[in-house]
Amino acid sequence: METRANYVLIGAFTLAVIAAAFGFVLWFQSLHTTKARSPIRIVFEGPASGLRNGGSVNFNGIRIGEVISVKLDNPRRVVALAMVENKAPIRKDTLVGLEFQGLTGVAAISLKGGEEAAPAVPLDEDGIPVLTADPNALQDVTEAIRATLQNVNRIVADNQESVKNSLRNLETFTGALARNSEKIDGIMVKVDGVMGKADSLMLGLNTVAGGSSGGELSAMLKAIKELADDLDKRTNLLIADGRRTLGDISRAVNNFDRNPSRVIFGGSNNAVAPEPAPARPPAPSAGPRPPAAGAAPRRPQ
């Protein structure tokens, strides 16, 4: 029980700290906003069509604040209270009007112009600055809206027959679609079948092309590359052998031109052949030799 109570206290303290931090941030932000903005009262002597809470306050087209309340002061007077930036150069002669974001947009308070040397905005009885809208500006806005609506009405009236024909064509087209709904369904089924076949074909092409794990086309390209590399190596070897053979033939032809006998008979052409021995002259004839001692005399034939 004691441990559980400690956990409850710790959780409550944590939540309190978070809530206090969150509240401090909101308070600081509101204080900063309050210091950065100040109220201003805008009086419209006539209708203020489209103006509502949350509408923008623009100075020369730039947003400087927003409307926080709109109320009727009397049947012909509308009073709007807005919060605007303190740095906005609003003067007593600043023109006030209404502007719209398109035909159906929310109206925004428009502030324009004013001289830098002009006095500040006069204060109301409660100390809030107050500006009165220019009735002519409001009338200009109303007239612009009316003119725009009249132009739209004129365009529709001038093209009434074309609009009718377009509507008839649209009706005819939708009727044709309704009558041929079954055929259209059949066509869509066929289109679905064609798309399914296209998906299968793309899957097959993906498989052949390799996909994420490689495929037949990848293996084929790899084999072709290996064959080309092998053929390139063999061609280089054949070219080298041919060059060596041509070199040998060229050297043999050059040797044959220089010394044909060496090529035919072999040996070195620089060796000197041995000179033949000189022939010995025959001994001179001296007649018959005398018989040796003890030898029998030779008989005449």
| Rounded Cα gap, residues 137 and 95, in angstroms | 8
278 found inside a domain: no
178 found inside a domain: no
271 found inside a domain: no
81 found inside a domain: yes
Q: Is the pLDDT of residue 68 over 80?
A: yes
Q: Is 57 helix (H, G, I), strand (E, B) or coil?
A: strand
Q: Is the pLDDT of residue 281 over 70?
A: no
184 found inside a domain: no
For tokens 């502030």, the residue is 111
For CA atoms 24, 27, 31, 33, the dihedral sign is: positive
- pLDDT score recorded for residue 210: 60
10 found inside a domain: no
Residue range 131-182, pLDDT digits in tens: 988 776 655 555 566 667 777 777 878 887 887 888 888 888 888 878 877 7
Average pLDDT over residues 67-87: 89
Q: How far apart are the first and last CA of the chain?
A: 178
- pLDDT score recorded for residue 82: 93
pLDDT band at 269 (very low <50, low <70, confident <90, very high): very low
Give the residue numbers spanning the domain of 77. 37-148
Overall number of domains in the chain: 1
| Rounded Cα gap, residues 297 and 286, in angstroms | 19
* Backbone torsion region of residue 54, taken as left when φ is above 0, otherwise alpha when ψ lies between -120 and 50, otherwise beta: left
- pLDDT score recorded for residue 69: 92
| Rounded Cα gap, residues 211 and 295, in angstroms | 127
Amino acid found at 11: G
Q: Is the pLDDT of residue 99 over 90?
A: no
* Backbone torsion region of residue 131, taken as left when φ is above 0, otherwise alpha when ψ lies between -120 and 50, otherwise beta: beta
Q: Is the pLDDT of residue 295 over 50?
A: no
Tell me the β-bridge partners of 2.
none
Q: Is 41 helix (H, G, I), strand (E, B) or coil?
A: strand
Q: Which residue has the higher pLDDT, 102 or 202?
A: 202
Query: Mean pLDDT score of the chain, rounded to an integer?
Result: 75
Lowest mean pLDDT among 98-107, 142-151, 173-182, 281-290: 281-290
- pLDDT score recorded for residue 40: 93
Query: Model-level pTM?
Result: 0.39
Q: Which residue has the higher pLDDT, 1 or 249?
A: 249
47 found inside a domain: yes
Lowest mean pLDDT among 27-36, 70-79, 154-163, 216-225: 27-36
In order of 129, 147, 218, the CA distances from 106 in angstroms are 24, 19, 64
Q: Is the pLDDT of residue 271 over 50?
A: no
Q: Is 62 helix (H, G, I), strand (E, B) or coil?
A: strand
In order of 66, 159, 160, 168, 169, the CA distances from 155 in angstroms are 36, 6, 8, 19, 20
44 found inside a domain: yes
Residue range 1-45, pLDDT digits in tens: 555 556 667 777 788 888 888 777 777 666 555 558 899 999 998
Lowest mean pLDDT among 65-79, 133-147, 196-210, 236-250: 133-147
